[in-house]
Chain A
Amino acid sequence: MKLFNLSQQHIIPAEEADPVSLAELKEHPEAYAVALEPDESVEALRPFLAQITLVVLHFPIFRDGRAFTQARSLREYEDYKEEIRVTGHVLPDQAAFLRRCGVDTVVLSDDDDQTEWEAQLKRFTITYQQSIAS
């Protein structure tokens, strides 16, 4: 497992993060990393966000775009400034969309090609709408 850094922000190393689920979060006030499922609302994180420095969002399959809305909501509605990471089935073709919705890092498997991600991230110099990050 390795991380691809989309935003060039400071990130938490892959081996250090041990996210808890939303349900577990209530029992673990010391937790700083949480993993949200696609059907869980980011609003539920609100009471804990002061302590959270990593939110991990999940793509069950690359076509399931709910994490885009979750990430953007975290940034826009919850004013969350720390790291957002995505895991699961994502394509390098989605790199710029992820970045523009506020995602910082992507979990890749060890044999995934990072150069493909770098190329896709830089592909479009022109966008047609504002976004929460660029």
Chain B
Amino acid sequence: MKQPVGHYAYESRDREFLQERIAEFEDQVKRRLSGALSEEEFKPLRLMNGIYLQVHAYMLRVAIPYGILDSRQLRKLAHVAQRYDRGYGHFTTRQNIQFNWIALEDAPAILRDLAEADMHAIQTSGNCIRNITSDEYAGAARDELMDPRVHAEILRQWSTLHPEFTFLPRKFKIAISGSPEDRVAARFHDIGLLARPSENGPLFRVFVGGGLGRTPVVGQELFDSVPEAELLATLEATLRVYNAYGRRDNLYRARIKILVQTIGIEPFREAVKAELAKMDLSHYRLTPERVAAIRARFAAPELHAVDDADAVLAQHQKEDPDFARWVQSNTHPHFDEGYSIATVSLKTPGDIPGDVTAEQMDGLADIAERFAFSELRVTHLQNIVLGHVRKDQLYALWQGLKELNLAAPNIGLAGDIVSCPGLDYCTLANARSLPLARKLGARFGDARLQEEIGALSINISGCINACGHHHAGHIGILGVDKRGSEFYQILLGGQAGDHASIGAILGPALSEDDAVAAIARIIDHYLAHRNEQESFLEMVTRLGKAPFKEVAYETV
């Protein structure tokens, strides 16, 4: 088999490991059924294999390491959706995919099918180090300093069944980016890593203690420049401090952000340094040879741009304004002038954000094979990125997407809504989030209106656990339970990235329809009163929430 572009090619030991892991899980299911394992004991074991019990059925969350899939793997996911679920899957904000309607007894068979395509569900849940997320434009973006995926793979392997860190106080999320733009929300992770090259090899800026959830916190810088050789030692040391001192008496106070907040970043840093001082660093050294060996298992795309790519693209745009609009919103500059990065919106107006049918998965796999080296990236905003598309082929690509009903021109715009599954599926939720997402998607579905509004992120969570990242949306929506009815709080002014900030609550929660109407009035107010070229977020930053609060509640 040819090596995949953009992700690590499994070798025989990796495949043996997956078989050992599946056999272990099969045995655990048997011991649960025989009573040898209690439900309390079985639960964390199944969670570490990605299996949740939801409102109506079991859910399986499949890992997509650093968000990269190849066409063969996406076809396997389509097969799982078709054979074991209801014909669709849901891409999540952590670059994974969830199947919401599986039977527990099918789980080992599903895991075996996934393993045929070198996929698994290991550590997609549980109080362990979760799937490592990365930049959706990795290895393609013009502004990138270094491709973070080789190191993401090294971290994936290091964290897989780590003997010391599999029973942590709480879940632990790591993200890594190699762009100055921080496209992974590094400051909203337990550990966020920003990689950059230097004369003496890669350096890593390390943030710790960020996160959303009940207690949203912007992460703080732990170290500015960790050399590659000390990357694993530094992560080991940080996790050792957390495992020893993180709280275990209260589920809601157990994340590393609470530990860092409680003792303060300075003492936390001293504790990590004290661990490092006790460690024999040569023993933990990430060697250039090891990095090179992993890198050798990644294939790079062979780019062969045609000379007149720009002219051909310009001609297509001139001939077809709908295509031109899609190019405007859904493509991003590639480091090679003849190529583009294309984002496939999984936010077709009126549909559920992130949901994809088996037919669409198969269709996307074909398109990726034809136009993008069989490589697909799942984004933390629940879309799919094709990293390397020839500019002169964008038009054919777009026509293929239209046939799949996946050509919405709304990336980064009002229709590009991020939403958790909410009370329709999730046992933690207080309110449904999908109906609201669909109503807002339809309300702002018009492409021209979205273009006029410009950059806007809307994030919806069905409860304070914040899986829809409502604190980080320019407009955030939080579902709450008000005496048995579903209500929605509106937040304004959140953002991820370099200027990460947490949105402020606007006022009392509203009913679903009132919330949609209030958001429409907020947007109208922005359109009527913005300064020239001013984005929604800039206007909120300039004026504060007061004028928006006034219009939001004017008829309530």
* Contacts from A to B (Cβ < 8 Å): 62-66, 68-70, 72-73, 76-77, 91, 93-94, 96-97, 100-101, 113, 116, 119-120, 123-131
Decide yes or no: A65 and B17 within 8 Å by CB, A93-B45, A116-B36, A129-B158 being known contacts.
no
B44 sits at the interface (CB 8 A): yes
A124 to B13, CA, bound (A): 11
With contacts A65-B243, A124-B21, A127-B163 known, what are 20 further pairs, Cβ within 8 A? A63-B44, A63-B127, A65-B165, A69-B244, A72-B163, A72-B164, A93-B28, A97-B164, A97-B167, A101-B163, A116-B31, A123-B20, A124-B17, A124-B20, A125-B20, A126-B14, A127-B161, A128-B17, A129-B158, A129-B162
Please report which residues of chain B, range 431-481, place their CB below 8 angstroms from some CB of chain A when the two chains form the complex. Answer: none
**Nearest neighbor of A64 in chain B, beta-carbon distance:** B248
**Contact, CB under 8 Å: A131 / B16:** no
Pick the most buried of A127, A128, A131: most chain B CB atoms within 10 A of its CB. Answer: A128
Q: Which residues of A contact B17 (CB under 8 A)?
A: 124, 126, 128
**Contact, CB under 8 Å: B157 / A128:** yes
**Contact, CB under 8 Å: A65 / B167:** yes
Q: Which residues of B contact A123 (CB under 8 A)?
A: 20, 23-24
B240 sits at the interface (CB 8 A): yes
A52 to B23, CA, bound (A): 40
Q: Which residues of A contact B24 (CB under 8 A)?
A: 93, 120, 123-124
* Contacts from B to A (Cβ < 8 Å): 13-14, 16-17, 20-21, 23-24, 27-28, 31, 36-37, 41, 44-45, 127, 157-158, 160-168, 240, 243-244, 248, 278-279, 283
A123 to B163, CA, bound (A): 14
- Measured CB to CB, the closest approach of chain A to B106, in angstroms, equals 22
Q: Which residues of B contact A100 (CB under 8 A)?
A: 163
Decide yes or no: A69 and B161 within 8 Å by CB, A91-B41, A123-B23, A126-B17 being known contacts.
no
> Could you write out 19 A-B pairs with CB less than 8 Å apart?
A62-B41, A65-B243, A66-B243, A68-B167, A68-B243, A73-B240, A77-B278, A91-B37, A91-B41, A93-B24, A93-B28, A97-B161, A97-B167, A101-B164, A124-B20, A126-B16, A127-B163, A129-B157, A129-B163
**Contact, CB under 8 Å: B158 / A69:** no
A97 to B45, CA, bound (A): 14
A97 to B162, CA, bound (A): 8
Q: Which residues of B contact A93 (CB under 8 A)?
A: 24, 28, 45
Contact of A62 among B27, B162, B167, B240 (CB under 8 A): B167
A113 to B163, CA, bound (A): 23
- Measured CB to CB, the closest approach of chain B to A132, in angstroms, equals 9
Contact of B283 among A63, A69, A130 (CB under 8 A): A130
**Contact, CB under 8 Å: B160 / A125:** no
Pick the most buried of A91, A100, A130: most chain B CB atoms within 10 A of its CB. Answer: A91
Decide yes or no: A69 and B240 within 8 Å by CB, A91-B41, A128-B160, A129-B157 being known contacts.
yes
Contact of B167 among A64, A127, A129 (CB under 8 A): A64
- Measured CB to CB, the closest approach of chain B to A18, in angstroms, equals 27
**Nearest neighbor of A123 in chain B, beta-carbon distance:** B24
**Contact, CB under 8 Å: A97 / B163:** yes
A96 to B164, CA, bound (A): 11
Decide yes or no: A76 and B279 within 8 Å by CB, A69-B240, A124-B17 being known contacts.
yes
**Contact, CB under 8 Å: A124 / B279:** no
A91 to B279, CA, bound (A): 29
- Measured CB to CB, the closest approach of chain B to A122, in angstroms, equals 10
- Measured CB to CB, the closest approach of chain A to B147, in angstroms, equals 21
- Measured CB to CB, the closest approach of chain B to A80, in angstroms, equals 13
- Measured CB to CB, the closest approach of chain B to A1, in angstroms, equals 19
- Measured CB to CB, the closest approach of chain A to B247, in angstroms, equals 11
**Contact, CB under 8 Å: B240 / A65:** no
Q: For the complex of A and B, list the 4 residue pairs with the smallest distance between their C-beta atoms, beginning with the closest.
A: A65-B167, A100-B163, A126-B17, A97-B163
**Contact, CB under 8 Å: A68 / B163:** yes
A70 to B161, CA, bound (A): 18
A43 to B150, CA, bound (A): 37
Pick the most buried of B24, B37, B167, B279: most chain A CB atoms within 10 A of its CB. Answer: B167
Q: Which residues of B contact A101 (CB under 8 A)?
A: 163-164
Q: Which residues of A contact B41 (CB under 8 A)?
A: 62, 91
**Contact, CB under 8 Å: B44 / A128:** no
Decide yes or no: A65 and B23 within 8 Å by CB, A93-B28, A124-B17, A128-B161 being known contacts.
no
Q: Which residues of A contact B168 (CB under 8 A)?
A: 65
**Nearest neighbor of B168 in chain A, beta-carbon distance:** A65
A72 to B165, CA, bound (A): 11
- Measured CB to CB, the closest approach of chain A to B14, in angstroms, equals 8
Decide yes or no: A68 and B20 within 8 Å by CB, A93-B28, A126-B13 being known contacts.
no
A129 to B278, CA, bound (A): 19
Pick the most buried of B16, B161, B283: most chain A CB atoms within 10 A of its CB. Answer: B161
A69 to B44, CA, bound (A): 19
A73 to B127, CA, bound (A): 21
A131 to B166, CA, bound (A): 14
Q: Which residues of B contact A66 (CB under 8 A)?
A: 243-244, 248
